[in-house]
Structure 1
Amino acid sequence: METEQTTDIRVKDQMQDILVDISWRGIAHRYFGKSASWLYHKMDGIDGNGKPNGFNDAEKEQLRGALCDLSERIRRAADKL
């Protein structure tokens, strides 16, 4: 279990460059149907009670897809300028 939590913390670390520029609330709602706090806890590798509970493989893939979709939407908006 500790290895999974360490991996999930690295997920957050890997996103340091974009953490403050993204609406994680919007990502949580649009792509997961969850609250922002749910996503923040997942990125920290914990659940709402502070117990280890990071992203599972399906959720990581879903987050990856969400970020790719968002990047495509940003690119389309930029291209319209």
Structure 2
Amino acid sequence: MKQELQDAIDKIIAQPTLSAEETDTLMNKAFALADTPEEKKEAMTRLRDGLRRRKRHDVDVKSILGDAAPYLNLAQIAKQYFDKDRTWLYQRINQAKVNGKPVAFTDSELRILSDSLQEISNIIHQTSINLTH
């Protein structure tokens, strides 16, 4: 893949706060630089992998959790859904610095956290129903 195409893909990956419209525009420009179907496929793979690893410093998970936080067993969530220890999860929720670098969730990790909270919500809801029947 030529350098100009790599740079265009890297520019998209480096900007997590782009709107969908801005992202589409940059992607169209980037993929127009591909000369062959193989180069386009390689660029798509690079973009997909880069977006999967991209950190989301713009998402304040601690604020989003808000009033629900005291009711969550974050150690269990870290272990069961991420196969990590609670420290790993607390660092990301609190946007701590690890080895001098700020840590944050990736899009993929945010999706896992969201899905885990939905699953826990369903379990609690079903338990509530069972108590009254």
> Shared topology, TM-score over 0.5?
yes
Q: What does 1:13-52 align with in structure 2 at a 5 Å threshold?
A: 13-52=63-102
- The match for 1:80 is 130
Q: Unpaired segments of 5 or more residues in structure 1?
A: none
What is the count of residue pairs matched by the alignment? Answer: 78
Deviation track 1:4-38 (CA, whole Å, cap 9, x = no partner) reads 43x24x21111111111110001111111110010
Greater share of residues in helix: 2
Cα RMSD for the two superposed structures: 1.8
Give the TM-score taking structure 2 as reference length.
Answer: 0.53
Q: Percent identity?
A: 31
Deviation track 1:25-71 (CA, whole Å, cap 9, x = no partner) reads 01111111110010000112235435212000000000000000000
Report the AA paired with residue 73 of structure 1.
I
* Higher RCO (CA < 8 A, seq sep 6+): 1
